[in-house]
Amino acid sequence: MHLFATHFGTYEVGFGANGKPLLMPFRHDPDPSEMGLGYLALADHPERIRAPMVRRSWLENGPLAGMGVGRGREEFVAVDWDAAAGLVADELRRVRSTYGNQAIFGGSYGWASAGRFHHAQSQLKRLLNLAGGFTSSVNSYSYGAAGVLLPHILGSDYKDACDTAPSWNDIAENCELLVGFGGFRLTNAQVEAGGTGSHRAGEWLRRCQERGVRIVVFSPTASDAPPGPNVRHIPLRPNTDVAVMIGMCHTLLDEGLFDCEFLKRCTTGFGEFESYLIGEKDGIAKDAAWASAISGVPADTIIEIAEDLHDYRSLINVAWSLQRARFGEQPFWGAIALASMTGHVGRKGCGFAFGLTAVNSVGQPVRRLKGPAFDQGKNPVRHFIPVARITELLENPGGRIDYDGRVLGLPDIRLLWWAGGNPFHHHQDLNRLAEAFRRPETVIVTENMWTATAKMADIVLPSAFPFERDDVVASSRDNWLVYSRRVMEPPEGVLADHEAYCLIADKLGCCEAFDENRCIDDWLAHIYEGYRERYPELPDFPSFRSRGFAVLDEGEEAPAPADHFQSFRDNPKAVPLKTPSGRIEIASGTIGSFGYPDIGRHPAWMEPEEWLGAPLASQYRFHLLSPQPAYRLHGQLEYGPASQGAKLKGCERVTLSPLDAKELAVEDGDLCELYNERGRVIAAVTIDEGVMPGVAVLPTGGWFRPDGDGVDHGGNPNTLTPITAASRLSQATAPNSCLASIRAWRGPGPEQQHEDLMHGPD
Ligand SMILES: Nc1nc2c(c(=O)[nH]1)N[C@H]1C(S)=C(S)[C@@H](COP(=O)(O)OP(=O)(O)OC[C@H]3O[C@@H](n4cnc5c(=O)[nH]c(N)nc54)[C@H](O)[C@@H]3O)O[C@H]1N2
Ligand SMILES: Nc1nc2c(c(=O)[nH]1)N[C@H]1C(S)=C(S)[C@@H](COP(=O)(O)OP(=O)(O)OC[C@H]3O[C@@H](n4cnc5c(=O)[nH]c(N)nc54)[C@H](O)[C@@H]3O)O[C@H]1N2
Ligand SMILES: [Mo]
């Protein structure tokens, strides 16, 4: 079977009446995503990069004359691959001999494409490592706060985003009450990093409902509640979930409805938390009335749900979005404390979970394919940043930042190379990032389209789309392996990253070390054989390639994966967690010992600078939420038919409550401007009575397209979001703590503007 595999699923390749290739849903996928069906339309899109391009004054005057001021403002000149490879190799050599390899930033965060071999970051990092190394980055935008917090609270086994949740079949069989803070945004489950052959999350949620699992969703928007029976939506102010959780903890304490024996055996630090709950030091009882005043949830509701969490076999799920906020560690820690008090942790399908439906894999009862990656080699440079500190890194050479109990020195970055990520999609405060991006001497970007990041480069290397190359596609959280076979040739002048880097490696004199004398087919066979060594039941490579896919345990009843919390609960001494106490740390001496002002020893409510209760809210009246887009993957496929079709007048949609729309005197479809001291962005109003008044929802992924006045016509919420970290512990991204104002927009819409705004490439 001819298959093409992506982060949003696997597609069958066929031919249309006009003889052109087209994508069709994969026959084995019960719930295929529409998102990718139009992927091939991007192949000859006008914004495609078709040749290596160099910014004119960089090419003519070199990296030091004029530095980066023209970046993002000047035109590009096409060069051939030999010239481009020579420029890149010379520049790498110059920077490393003048400043040392730590002056090269190659962190390159981003999702790139599915596929084990053409993995953009691995390809680049392998090349940079052979060139002496680079300053790197750690953690993710997805799970930045939780990924640092949870190893302290639950142990090092719980760093990965998908490892805490019980499996869906255990939930369906055993759980009676599923409480979701941040809800279950099912459009997100279309996606899986590394791909999948089978979308199942929606089906599992339905099965839970059929079995009578009651679902309660706390969210500022009703659309986070799934359709179907037994669902209750409770609106709350953004960023206040931890106050609700703490109010529930107080309720359980006050009413004596908590599992004292579990807390004693399996947790540590409850006493300190208890003292906080009753207000021993500050005189404030963190009761339901207190939580209600912060969150807007009626006190009776908080008490009722708290009692139910204790009385029924319950599971508390927290969406990842909650930790993409100021003090984003707190709702995760709070949920663990609350679930521990209910006493259901370690009971089948109960306790706590993080990110059910955030991606397809969380909770899937499958054996996972942990396969070999394309080897990046070793990086001799020790400098790194937590991934979301990129602006500070560029702004503040020689500076220092706190991180997880350490102090990190920020090297002086002279060369920046990004491949497989789009910081002008993903990072916060994009106008500030643009200034920071003008500081290094050279910026190189490997991309397939003229993203805002590519436009900010000096050297742009054009990259083949994933449908223009063969790859072995598998996710380490899934049981599907797909042979993704090229659908068409890339345009002349465009290479797969690996091929481009072979040319550069050749100029650097490390060609053999880079490609090990293997052609791409050899690499694919080599990677696949790595899987077969671990899973001997897989077919041989030629059979796999001709069938197009292989599935672990195909056709068998999914084995329920072992739930470590069950054995821990049964015998915490024999099967301890890998925390200092061996138990769940409701208070953490380690975190306390760091002495950070923005995270303490136990879960607590801390007031973000930007939320609806902040003094700043009298100036900027809306809390802006920026969830994941339903019709594309981040900024990818923005020009695909699904994403374009979801726009209104060519604009991204911002969703408002009817009350706010009335007050702003805007109607459905009107253009409006969202603004704060960081930027201005245009979007089209969509009115939804499910949105809480005071909240505006603008999904991510619109392409940052500032006009001459700095107004973004692409609808990217990160024009407005702050770079503030969740805390000094994680230094994680926190875009969901953002206040903004809104007014009607009377200027021209993006359709009229678009032509004028295209700058850079000809
Ligand atoms: N406000 C706000 N901001 C957010 C979030 C939020 O919730 N709110 N969420 C954050 C999260 S969780 C994430 S994960 C990030 C995602 O941010 P990114 O991962 O940076 O977003 P993508 O658009 O997926 O960027 C990947 C880029 O890689 C390119 N690419 C694809 N394949 C290849 C390849 O083979 N080679 C090369 N060289 N390039 C390739 C694509 O064209 C694309 O431009 O955004 C973060 N930003
Ligand atoms: N279609 C599609 N799916 C995707 C992606 C994509 O780009 N497109 N990206 C993928 C990636 S990289 C990731 S990391 C995951 C992210 O998965 P999540 O982080 O779970 O997803 P989000 O869409 O950011 O947020 C989910 C919901 O959280 C709610 N929310 C935000 N702030 C608060 C709050 O303070 N309190 C409460 N109670 N609710 C709040 C919002 O209403 C939002 O709808 O999604 C993945 N899935
Ligand atoms: Mo993410």
Q: Does residue 229 share a domain with residue 112?
A: no
Q: Does residue 447 share a domain with residue 361?
A: no
Q: Does residue 133 share a domain with residue 159?
A: no
Q: What is the pLDDT of residue 555?
A: 80
139 Cα to the center of ligand 3, angstroms? 11
Q: Does residue 460 share a domain with residue 434?
A: yes
Closest by CA to 633, choosing from 104, 42, 113, 12, is 113
* Within a domain: 302: yes
Task: For residue 446, give the ligand 1 atom closest to its CA.
Answer: 38
* Within a domain: 672: yes
700 lines ligand 1 (CB under 6 A): yes
Q: Does residue 129 share a domain with residue 56?
A: yes
Q: What is the pLDDT of residue 38?
A: 95
Report strand pairing: 671-676 vs 679-687: antiparallel
Which residues, in sequence order, are bridge partners of residue 137?
Answer: 385
Q: What is the pLDDT of residue 265?
A: 97
Q: Which ligand is nearest to the CA of 6?
A: 1
Reported as a single tens digit per residue, the pLDDT across 575-625 is 999 999 999 999 999 999 999 999 999 999 999 999 999 999 999 999 999
Share of the chain above pLDDT 70, in %: 97
Q: What is the pLDDT of residue 562?
A: 66
33 lines ligand 1 (CB under 6 A): no
Say if residue 98's pLDDT is above 50: yes
Q: What is the pLDDT of residue 568?
A: 95
Q: What is the pLDDT of residue 751?
A: 55
Residue pair 218/48 in contact (Cβ under 8 Å)? The answer is no
Say if residue 569's pLDDT is above 80: yes
* Within a domain: 62: yes
Q: What is the pLDDT of residue 755?
A: 47
Q: What is the pLDDT of residue 149?
A: 98
pLDDT (average), residues 124-132: 98
Say if residue 762's pLDDT is above 60: no
Say if residue 758's pLDDT is above 60: no
Q: Residue 97, CB half-sphere, CA atoms under 13 Å: how many?
A: 6
CATH of the domain at 238: 3.40.228.10
Which of 48, 142, 321, 636, when mutated, tests ligand 1's pocket best, judged by the most ligand atoms within 8 Å of its CB?
A: 636
* Within a domain: 373: no
Reported as a single tens digit per residue, the pLDDT across 719-737 is 999 999 999 999 999 999 9
Q: What is the pLDDT of residue 759?
A: 41
The confidence band for 757, taking pLDDT boundaries of 50, 70 and 90, is: very low
Share of the chain above pLDDT 90, in %: 93
Residues annotated as catalytic (active site), given as ranges: 109, 111
485 Cα to the center of ligand 1, angstroms? 23
Q: What is the pLDDT of residue 66?
A: 77
105 Cα to the center of ligand 3, angstroms? 21
Q: Does residue 160 share a domain with residue 295?
A: yes
- pTM, rounded to two decimals: 0.97
Q: What is the pLDDT of residue 761?
A: 35
Q: Does residue 743 share a domain with residue 691?
A: yes
Can you say how many angstroms the Cα of residue 715 is from the centroid of all Cα atoms in its chain? 18
The tokens of 46 are what?
A: 């006008």
144 Cα to the center of ligand 3, angstroms? 9
Which residue range forms the structural domain that includes residue 199?
A: 146-367+575-593
Q: How far apart are alpha carbons 308 and 257 in whole angstroms?
A: 10
Q: What is the pLDDT of residue 756?
A: 45
Q: Which residue has the higher pLDDT, 757 or 39?
A: 39
User: Would you call 88 helix, strand, or coil by DSSP?
Assistant: helix
Q: Does residue 126 share a domain with residue 175?
A: no
User: Would you call 425 helix, strand, or coil by DSSP?
Assistant: helix
H or E element in which residue 753 lies:
helix 750-757
Q: What is the pLDDT of residue 631?
A: 97
Task: For residue 627, give the ligand 1 atom closest to its CA.
Answer: 7
User: Would you call 624 helix, strand, or coil by DSSP?
Assistant: strand
Q: Does residue 737 share a domain with residue 641?
A: yes
Q: Does residue 296 share a domain with residue 161?
A: yes
* Within a domain: 28: no
Reported as a single tens digit per residue, the pLDDT across 36-87 is 999 999 999 999 999 999 999 999 999 998 778 899 999 999 999 999 999 9
CATH of the domain at 668: 2.40.40.20
CATH of the domain at 126: 3.40.50.740
Task: For residue 445, give the ligand 1 atom closest to its CA.
Answer: 38
pLDDT (average), residues 130-152: 98
Report strand pairing: 549-551 vs 480-484: antiparallel
Task: For residue 634, give the ligand 1 atom closest to its CA.
Answer: 23
Q: What is the pLDDT of residue 185?
A: 97
122 lines ligand 1 (CB under 6 A): no
Buried/exposed code over 542-579 (b: 16+ C-beta within 10 A; e: otherwise): eebbeebbbbbeeeeeeeebebbbbebbeebeeeebeb
pLDDT (average), residues 233-245: 98
Residue nearest to atom 13 of ligand 2 (CA): 142
Q: Show the ligand 2 pocket: residues with CB < 6 angstroms.
A: 142, 181-183, 185, 187-188, 190-191, 218-221, 224, 236, 238-239, 241, 319-322, 325, 358-359, 625, 627-630, 633-634, 736
* Within a domain: 432: yes
Domain count, the chain: 3
Q: Which ligand is nearest to the CA of 494?
A: 1
Q: Does residue 63 share a domain with residue 184?
A: no
Q: Which ligand is nearest to the CA of 465?
A: 1
Residue nearest to atom 41 of ligand 1 (CA): 112
461 lines ligand 1 (CB under 6 A): no
333 Cα to the center of ligand 3, angstroms? 20
pLDDT (average), residues 541-560: 88
Reported as a single tens digit per residue, the pLDDT across 271-296 is 999 999 999 999 999 999 999 999 99
* Within a domain: 642: yes
Buried/exposed code over 205-232 (b: 16+ C-beta within 10 A; e: otherwise): bbbbbeeebbbbbbbbbbbbbbeeebbe
325 Cα to the center of ligand 1, angstroms? 19
* Within a domain: 605: no
Closest by CA to 21, choosing from 5, 43, 45, 50, is 43
The confidence band for 559, taking pLDDT boundaries of 50, 70 and 90, is: low
Reported as a single tens digit per residue, the pLDDT across 676-722 is 999 999 999 999 999 999 999 999 999 999 998 889 999 999 999 99
Q: Which of 72-86, 114-128, 326-340, 741-755 has the lowest mean pLDDT?
A: 741-755
Reported as a single tens digit per residue, the pLDDT across 459-483 is 999 999 999 999 999 999 899 999 9
Can you say how many angstroms the Cα of residue 343 is from the centroid of all Cα atoms in its chain? 31
721 lines ligand 1 (CB under 6 A): yes
Angstrom CA distances, 222 to 179, 191, 527, stand at: 14, 21, 44
Q: What is the pLDDT of residue 554?
A: 87
pLDDT (average), residues 138-148: 97
Q: How far apart are alpha carbons 499 and 520 in whole angstroms?
A: 9
Which of 39, 128, 140, 425, when mutated, tests ligand 1's pocket best, judged by the most ligand atoms within 8 Å of its CB?
A: 425
Q: Does residue 234 share a domain with residue 355?
A: yes
Q: Which residue has the higher pLDDT, 756 or 691?
A: 691
Residue nearest to atom 8 of ligand 1 (CA): 626
Q: What is the pLDDT of residue 560?
A: 61
